[in-house]
Amino acid sequence: VPTVTDIHTEQDAAMAAEYVDVLQIPAFLARQTDLVVAAAQTGKTVNIKKGQFMSPESMKHAVNKVTETGNEQAIITDRGTMFGYQDMIVDFRGVPTMKQFAPVVLDVTHSLQQPNQSSGVTGGRPALIGTMARAGVAAGVDGLFIETHFDCANAKSDGANMLDLGLMKKLLTDLVALRAIVNEF
């Protein structure tokens, strides 16, 4: 089974590359040149999560940091853009722009986060997971990232954004059918 993990320092890159297939650059670190280059130099696929503060156009520079090392295996993951202080939105107009630079994955569940809640705990809108995933497929994303759990309320993290595991099979079946229709255009 192919595996992916976040790395947070340049030193993490070589060590993690011994064990995983994809090195992921977290959104808040997407502009850290030394980190992105270190990940790319391992020869592994580098998945760069678009920072909530970054434009689709700016992802060209992040991808270029990977390809300039000779590694052509870059992926962009869109996890939304901050909208005010406590909400995230996805602007699907950015999908074709980012696809000019690398394949695009939509992080469905993180894009539905509601950070900075007064409770101190990040909230979410899991009822919109299906809607957001279908919109991503219709917009032409190359892949989807959907966090799931058999008991979302008791998940160790991000439970407010997860899809109940019992709903995943139906959603994936629907998304595959939708993708077949979209591919006809």
Distances (CA, A) of 184 to 140, 177, 178, 180: 12, 11, 10, 7
Per-residue pLDDT, 27: 95
Per-residue pLDDT, 68: 98
Per-residue pLDDT, 115: 78
Per-residue pLDDT, 74: 98
Backbone angles phi, psi at 158, to 5 degrees: 60, 20
Closest CA to 16 of 29, 27, 28, 3: 3
CA–CA dist 105, 145 (Å, integer):
7
Per-residue pLDDT, 133: 98
Domains and CATH numbers, the chain: 4-146 (3.20.20.70)
Per-residue pLDDT, 119: 76
Beta bridge pairs of residue 50:
78
pLDDT tens, residue order, the chain (185 aa): 889 999 999 999 999 999 999 999 999 999 999 999 999 999 999 999 999 999 999 999 999 999 999 999 999 999 999 888 888 899 999 999 999 999 999 999 999 988 777 677 777 898 999 999 999 999 999 999 999 999 888 888 888 888 999 999 999 999 999 999 999 98
Per-residue pLDDT, 32: 97
Number of neighbouring beta carbons within 10 Å of residue 124: 23
Per-residue pLDDT, 124: 84
Contact 158, 147 (CB under 8 A): yes
